[in-house]
Amino acid sequence: MSKEVSSVEYGLEKIFEGAQDFLPLLGTDYVEFYVGNAKQSAHFYKTAFGFQDFAYRGLETGSRDQVSYVLKQDKIKIVLTTPLNSKSPINEHIVKHGDGVKVIALWVENARSAWEETTKRGAKSFMEPTVEKDEFGEVIRSGIYTYGETVHVFVERKNYQGTFLPGFVANKTDYNPSPVGLKYIDHMVGNVGWGEMNTWVKWYEEVMGFENFLSFDDTQIHTEYSALMSKVMSNGNGRIKFPINEPAKAAKKSQIEEYLDFYEGSGVQHIAVATDNIVETVSQLKARGVEFLPPPPQAYYDDIPNRLGKHMSMMKENIADLQKLSILVDADEEGYLLQIFTKPVEDRPTLFFEIIQRMGAKGFGAGNFKALFESIEREQEKRGTL
């Protein structure tokens, strides 16, 4: 793979000059899920998705009311947290939403100023700047609410040498399935309620200094039955990208509406994780039991040379391999991208994952929206929620 199109390099350039820098973000720090049974979730993310043991906090480390398993794969850290008694407020989150993403933690140089700058611009505080210490140094964290009950936690770790955070111990067990090549979080998408997309676009602009760099309306994102609208927000250096979706009126129920019904409110819809070799990564995920959306029809694959146009000559993947694995392909001016979506990873049709390989393209697969949403609708039909 040439350097110009390496997906790992993407995102580190300053591409959005208009965005403000009162909130410099170094990257995603971790994503914390509130789940009903963290021990079993950790087994699933290790076995199925190739995450590795990293850190732990629980009864054995003196945490009496909650337990967390931290797993890692390349730059991605996920935290799986479960309450240890009925009094923990985490229970309310799980009862209402089911398993889902509570915290999108952002790595910052200065967690105090991140909290001050965002709360003074109207953010509701989740956690005042708090210093946590152990023998490896100190971490300062602060946090604000975003859509629904989801929060952003700012993590300042420049004076910390420990594994994860004070209170956690490094964790290593004898069960270590191999990684599958997931590298970093490319983007995380939020679903918000009817008519709320622009409210949250404005919130990310005003409170976080983000910029809206791509928009899709319901004339672009629709099928025969359903529709949605989406705007992509990015921070100044392009490392953090949060598309925001809202449902739109159509003949049948939008997938966004289905999410809102089952999550009982706004929340994280999908986490897109990047790989450098999607054919290998998806082959492994399938062998390990990860379920993906069903493939688009034959005509979709026949049309790939048209879709890729001038980028067809640089395409390294074999179309038959992509079709065998149901991987989707899209292109923009700068290159192409390969992507695929899992089925929801819990019983409520809420959170799912996207696997993406960028070969120069900076978009989100708009050319695939129709094929993708038709696949989702076939699944909705089975669930009786279309």
23 token code pair: 């909130």
Contact stretch for Fe ion (CB under 5 A) within 26-34, 50-58, 164-172, 270-278: 270-278
Residue nearest Fe ion, Cβ-based: 272
Give the Cβ contact number of residue 173 at 10 Å.
Answer: 9
Q: Which residues pair with 27 in a beta bridge?
A: 107
Does 240 help bind Fe ion (rule: CB under 5 A)?
A: no
Contact stretch for Fe ion (CB under 5 A) within 64-72, 79-87, 111-119, 271-279: 271-279
Q: CA–CA separation, 30 vs 233, rounded Å? A: 19
Identity of the residue, 214 or 250, whose beta carbon is nearer to Fe ion in the bound complex: 214
Q: Which of 28, 2, 6, 78 is nearest to 238 (CA)?
A: 28
Contact stretch for Fe ion (CB under 5 A) within 160-168, 214-222, 327-335, 350-358: 350-358
CB of 191 to Fe ion, least distance (A): 12
Identity of the residue, 143 or 190, whose beta carbon is nearer to Fe ion in the bound complex: 190
Does 186 help bind Fe ion (rule: CB under 5 A)?
A: no
Q: CA–CA separation, 58 vs 135, rounded Å? A: 18
Cβ–Cβ < 8 Å for 111, 140: yes
CB of 271 to Fe ion, least distance (A): 9
Strands (E), the chain: 25-34, 52-57, 66-73, 76-83, 100-108, 125-134, 137-145, 151-156, 169-170, 182-191, 211-216, 227-234, 241-248, 267-275, 328-332, 335-341, 352-359
CB of 109 to Fe ion, least distance (A): 28
Does 228 help bind Fe ion (rule: CB under 5 A)?
A: no
19 token code pair: 């965005």
CB of 166 to Fe ion, least distance (A): 34
Contact stretch for Fe ion (CB under 5 A) within 88-96, 122-130, 224-232, 353-361: 353-361
Identity of the residue, 162 or 243, whose beta carbon is nearer to Fe ion in the bound complex: 243
Determine which residue in the list 38, 108, 153, 272 makes contact with Fe ion, applying CB under 5 A. Answer: 272
Site string for Fe ion, 287-306 (x = CB under 5 A): --------------------
CB of 384 to Fe ion, least distance (A): 26
Sign of torsion over alpha carbons 80, 83, 89, 93: positive
Total residues at interface with Fe ion (CB under 5 A): 2
Identity of the residue, 53 or 377, whose beta carbon is nearer to Fe ion in the bound complex: 377
Start-to-end CA span in the chain (Å): 41
Identity of the residue, 67 or 285, whose beta carbon is nearer to Fe ion in the bound complex: 285
Site string for Fe ion, 314-333 (x = CB under 5 A): --------------------
299 token code pair: 């005509």
CB of 205 to Fe ion, least distance (A): 20
Q: Which residues pair with 247 in a beta bridge?
A: 228
CB of 354 to Fe ion, least distance (A): 5
Q: Which of 162, 173, 106 is nearest to 139 (CA)?
A: 162
Does 359 help bind Fe ion (rule: CB under 5 A)?
A: no
CB of 63 to Fe ion, least distance (A): 34
Q: CA–CA separation, 47 vs 285, rounded Å? A: 9
CB of 190 to Fe ion, least distance (A): 11
Q: CA–CA separation, 67 vs 58, rounded Å? A: 4
Q: Exposed/middle/buried for 85, CB within 10 Å: 0-12, 13-18, 19+? A: exposed
Q: CA–CA separation, 358 vs 363, rounded Å? A: 9
Does 354 help bind Fe ion (rule: CB under 5 A)?
A: yes
Contact stretch for Fe ion (CB under 5 A) within 70-78, 224-232, 233-241, 352-360: 352-360
Q: What is the contact surface with Fe ion in residues (CB under 5 A)? A: 272, 354
